[in-house]
């Protein structure tokens, strides 16, 4: 039985096994927020590699701690929020790597951008310690030492995006099927060796955790400003309306959504305009007005910067036939 199959009741959510073979197990998660899947491969006894693909907001509500299980996550696309029991929220963005012991209970996990794609390596330390020792021979990987190094005092370790991380994980997203299982073994061992010798002294400069109370305000602000894309709010208005200091609001919003309020809304408006261009025959001027631009030339310039082509060219190349349901992400 896989680690996740055994520990499936860690999560207070509908996690269903939809496929289970000798090679892999596929889990599906579906709720009102959307859906996601996790495809798990056994690499060694006590070590599994998972491909995570989610199109949803809220996801896991964790029920209990699980001791001696280490989870290593790499974010390829999207953004991952993890809330711990003490109210601290930490964010994983594209290219980042996180290591956490599941004894450090996470209260809730979600995806602020409503999509997430990445890889996880789940390690049952007692089992894995014995299995990789028999494989490596003279090369030593001390999993207990790795735990103490990266997750001292039950902390979540985050290494921000860098070339060395990208080198290890990028090839996992394109590995040919015929060499997949042997390649998984090599890459997991490479990852563990890399983490064993990684210099973590620069962790003192890590971005701060955000408290859940602040995060909730920021999410309320996001809902408020996206409810009516025709309307523009100043930062001062939002700060005063939601009772949060201006500097804290700007810092926390970027921490949660990975960009400034201005850049977030600019991209959101262009995504809304893209839907209208695909689904309607409205003029560019009308669409510009509906997403908050009085000047169609400024709208066209912004649209090209965000979407990579002018509005009319986008409409021509992306026009869909029939009724289509688009979702803003």
17-51 tens-digit pLDDT: 999 998 899 999 988 888 999 999 999 999 999 99
- The residues with which 38 forms a beta bridge, in sequence order, are 27, 52
What value does the mean pLDDT of the chain take? 88
- The domain 3-205: what is its CATH number? 2.60.120.10
Q: Where are the domains of the chain?
A: 3-205, 211-318
Residue 329 has pLDDT above 60, yes or no: no
74-93 tens-digit pLDDT: 999 999 999 888 888 999 99
At the topology level of CATH, where does 211-318 sit?
Arc Repressor Mutant, subunit A (1.10.10)
Percent of the chain past pLDDT 90, that is, above it, reads 70
Start-to-end C-alpha separation, the chain: 36
pLDDT of residue 325: 42
Percent of the chain past pLDDT 70, that is, above it, reads 88
CA–CA dist 275, 102 (Å, integer): 41
Please, which residues have CB within 8 angstroms of residue 117's CB and are 6 or more apart in sequence?
A: 52, 53, 54, 75, 76, 77, 78
Local confidence band at 307 (pLDDT 50, 70, 90 cut-offs): very high
How far is CA 149 from each of CA 84, 153, 157, rounded to the nearest angstrom? 20, 10, 9
Q: List the one residue out of 212, 275, 258 whose CA is nearest residue 113.
A: 258
Please, which residues have CB within 8 angstroms of residue 119's CB and are 6 or more apart in sequence?
A: 49, 50, 51, 52, 73, 74, 76, 169, 172, 173
Mean pLDDT of 265-270: 97
Mean pLDDT of 107-124: 93
pLDDT of residue 204: 45
């Amino acid at each position: 039985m896989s680690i996740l199959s055994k520990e499936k009741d860690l999560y207070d959510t509908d996690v269903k096994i939809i496929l289970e073979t000798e090679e892999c197990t596929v889990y599906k998660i579906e709720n009102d927020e959307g859906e996601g899947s996790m495809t798990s491969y056994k690499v060694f006894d006590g070590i599994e590699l998972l491909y995570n693909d989610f199109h949803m907001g809220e996801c896991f509500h964790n029920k209990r701690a699980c001791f001696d299980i280490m989870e290593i996550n790499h974010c390829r696309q999207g953004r991952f929020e993890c809330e711990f029991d003490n109210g601290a929220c930490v964010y994983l963005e594209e290219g980042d790597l996180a290591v956490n012991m599941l004894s450090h209970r996470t209260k809730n996990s979600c995806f602020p951008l409503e999509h997430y794609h990445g890889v996880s390596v789940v390690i049952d330390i007692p089992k894995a310690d014995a299995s990789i020792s028999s494989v490596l021979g003279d090369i030593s990987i001390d999993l207990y030492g790795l735990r103490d190094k990266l997750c001292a005092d039950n902390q979540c370790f985050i290494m921000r995006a860098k070339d060395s991380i990208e080198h290890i994980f990028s090839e996992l997203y394109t590995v040919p099927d015929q060499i997949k299982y042997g390649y998984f073994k090599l890459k997991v061992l490479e990852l563990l060796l890399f983490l064993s010798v990684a210099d973590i002294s620069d962790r003192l400069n890590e971005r701060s955790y955000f408290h859940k109370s602040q995060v909730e305000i920021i999410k309320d602000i996001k809902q408020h400003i996206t409810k009516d894309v025709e309307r523009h709010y100043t930062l001062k208005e939002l700060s005063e309306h939601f009772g949060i200091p201006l500097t804290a609001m700007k810092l926390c919003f970027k921490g949660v959504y990975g960009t400034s309020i201005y850049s977030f809304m600019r991209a959101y408006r262009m995504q809304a305009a893209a839907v209208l261009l695909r689904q309607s025959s409205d003029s560019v001027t009308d669409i510009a007005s509906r997403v908050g631009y009085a000047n169609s030339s400024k709208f066209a310039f912004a649209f090209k910067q965000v979407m990579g082509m002018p509005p009319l060219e986008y409409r021509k190349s992306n026009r869909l036939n029939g009724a289509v349901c688009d979702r803003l992400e």
